[in-house]
Structure 1
């Protein structure tokens, strides 16, 4: 049975505002350990470390050509997919999902029609820091993720106060439900058991939607035993055991169909799995490239050269875009509301 090895990077649990971990993502590669061992030996014949780790290798400039060549061979010779999201943008989307959309739903308005939520989140991302007042958007998002985590009357009140303390009148479509009305339907949505700002579900859903397309038939997944991946492991198990037949369309190119072709998930020690080590190299290089291109951190590898190695179908990303017409075209007919409701009903822990 075909096996995809996966690894993640940038996981920070419920906190999506960690300035040192701006991006989160995961990579999957369909390769067995013998093939992976040969690739590693070909590109790093003198490697003495017990484990191939991107961060350790990238520190030495002499390794950069070898890393790029290794990435090239992985991407051209094997089925691969990498997903990267800007966590601040994802948090804004979550804010709209729970602190805004229920207000419109109660009034019979489809907030998600043709990706309107993505356009509004992108607008907030780009203009919010100036439009809402200095530090107001940061404070609002910090209060939001705290309220989602703790679900206490105090944290909910702090969230409403943060919205009211901002210059919310500049974008009432997004902040009015909290600032003007303290909309009970929104506060109830935030307080719902199982609602979380943990991005693992979003990352896995996106990665799986692509693996389901490129897998020839039933397949399995192996991943490292790290604590971060325990959340991913639990979610994968729930995906596998979900037997209801349904297809959910997320965009022009993305949908997910249950039951999955994915049959099993196994945790392995990455030190004994060269294939998992290659997944680490792929996601490590891609996350570093994203940081470099957003000028938040100077990377070691040439970011443009890393991203140029990917074919369009091998790299999925969730990033803000103010090309609103393209957003509308790309997400026309999306089943966003149904998808969010479905995943909340079946895959969020109570």
Structure 2
């Protein structure tokens, strides 16, 4: 492990809590580890070679034309091994937030059981699929939820839980039944948090992305000093990050079958700076723009394709994208989670205890799905 690194951060696709922004479907947050002199030299070289005006690299502008994409491509080549990126499909991220705030409060006592089954990914992916494919109601549901989380207006919550259910798919019926019956848990979870201070940015992805990237770099360096382009979400809340100042122990969180680092050692509070004054931040801006561009399915030029080829090497585990394997009806995991959602909806409708004996139900469902009788039935 190396001693110390300065890490420079910037984003692309920031729309705050407005995760349904159709013009910017991808949020990308990039981290670059580089010496100041090297960063300045690279930025000066790129500005002169590609005749970039205003003396500053702005990735969002560069990706809009072929010349700018050539400049970014040279930056990515120069930063090989020195960059990490967190990239998220914002619509899927909103679906994940829906599970976190609508389902999690009622399942909290045994939440580890559900997370190990990837139940959260099953529900989130089903919501996302409804949203992008055919679900007019799902779109309305998302818009109401986004508005609620952005404004803290609980009148919106009433609308969210009183929408009609005509024409829903069976899965959305189950999700809707669960949400309606447990709205009091949702209100209790959100009351006093959203709409003010840090809670104003409850749907924003900046803080989560920054924390993930710092934890990732913290596996390679004993201490880190972070420089971030000025950001309203970061200005609103740095409490968790400040708890990492001088943090020497290495703690991991077990998430499914993964061990994910959650601590790192900061030398000082996050530095919120003007990108014009920090070459490293400008490079992070270019990297973020590149992967936001590459991960947008509408972009199919040579650079988008080339940069997608880098994803496996530079995109971190904290990135959020739908994986349809989680709802593949041929897989036991998806079949079991479908049965579990149906059971939770049934218990909700009948006012039964959600969690009593639920582990026995899961075991029974697993045994049934593995049984010869079920296999024969599916043949």
Return the TM-score normalized by structure 1: 0.78
1:34 aligned residue = 37
The CA distance in 2 between the partners of 1:278 and 1:48, in whole Å, is 14
| 1:177-256 alignment runs, 5 A limit | 177-179=178-180, 181-194=181-194, 196-214=202-220, 216-225=221-230, 229-236=231-238, 238-241=240-243, 247-250=252-255, 252-253=257-258, 255-256=260-261
Deviation at 1:239, TM superposition (A): 1.4
* Distance of 2:45 and 2:332 partners within structure 1: 42
Instruction: Check conservation: 1:99, 1:186, Cα contact below 8 A.
Output: yes
Whether the 8 Å contact between 1:3 and 1:32 is mirrored in structure 2 is yes
Displacement of 1:163: 6.3
The DSSP-based 3-state class of the residue aligned with 2:118 is: helix
**Distance change >3 Å, CA 48–CA 327, structure 1 → 2:** farther
Q: CA deviation at 1:48?
A: 5.1
Shift of 1:165: 5.4
**Structure 1 residues 36 and 134: alpha-carbon distance in aligned structure 2, compared to 1, 3 A threshold:** same
1:292-334 CA distances to partner (integer Å, 9 max, x unpaired)? xx22xx47762111122355354442100111289979xxxxx
Q: Secondary structure at the match of 2:218?
A: helix
CA distance in 2, matches of 1:126, 1:247: 32
Q: How many residues align?
A: 315
* Partners of 1:86 and 1:318 within 8 A in 2: yes
CA distance in 2, matches of 1:212, 1:197: 25
Deviation, structure 1 residue 280: 0.7
Cα 1:44/1:193, change in 2 over 3 Å = closer
> What residue number does 1:88 align with?
91
Residue among 263, 267, 277 paired with 1:263: 267
Q: Give the 5 Å matches for 1:1-350.
A: 1-46=4-49, 47=51, 49=53, 50-76=55-81, 79-105=82-108, 110-128=113-131, 134-162=135-163, 164=165, 167=168, 169-179=170-180, 181-194=181-194, 196-214=202-220, 216-225=221-230, 229-236=231-238, 238-241=240-243, 247-250=252-255, 252-253=257-258, 255-258=260-263, 260-264=264-268, 265-291=270-296, 294-295=297-298, 298=299, 302-316=303-317, 317-324=319-326
Change (3 A) 1:106 1:176: farther
Q: List gaps (5 residues or longer) in structure 1.
A: 330-350
- Conservation of the 8 A alpha-carbon contact between 1:270 and 1:276: yes
The 2-side partners of 1:74 and 1:176 are apart by 50
**Change in 2 beyond 3 A, CA 1:164/1:45:** same
Name the residue aligned to 2:371: none
Structure 2 stretches lacking a partner, 5+ long = 335-379
* Structure 1 SS opposite 2:324: coil
- For the residues of structure 1 that align with 2:112 and 2:30, how far apart are their CA atoms? 37
TM-score in terms of structure 2 length: 0.72
Q: Deviations over 1:211-255 (max 9, x none)?
A: 2223x2111001223xxx132255445312358975433455552
In the TM superposition, residue 85 of structure 1 has moved relative to its aligned partner by 0.6
How far did 1:31 drift?
Answer: 0.8
Which protein has the larger Cα radius of gyration, Structure 1 or Structure 2? 2
Map Cα deviations across residues 72-125 of structure 1 (whole Å, 9 max, x no partner). 12124xx22100111111111111111123334479894323322012211221
Q: CA deviation at 1:151?
A: 3.8
- Report the equivalent of 2:349: none
Structure 2 distance, partners of 1:118, 1:40, is: 40
Q: 1:262 to 1:328 in 2, by over 3 A?
A: farther
Preserved CA contact (<8 Å) 2:11 2:30: yes
Residues 309 and 112 from structure 1, CA distance in 2 versus in 1: closer, same or farther, beyond 3 angstroms? closer
RMSD: 3.1
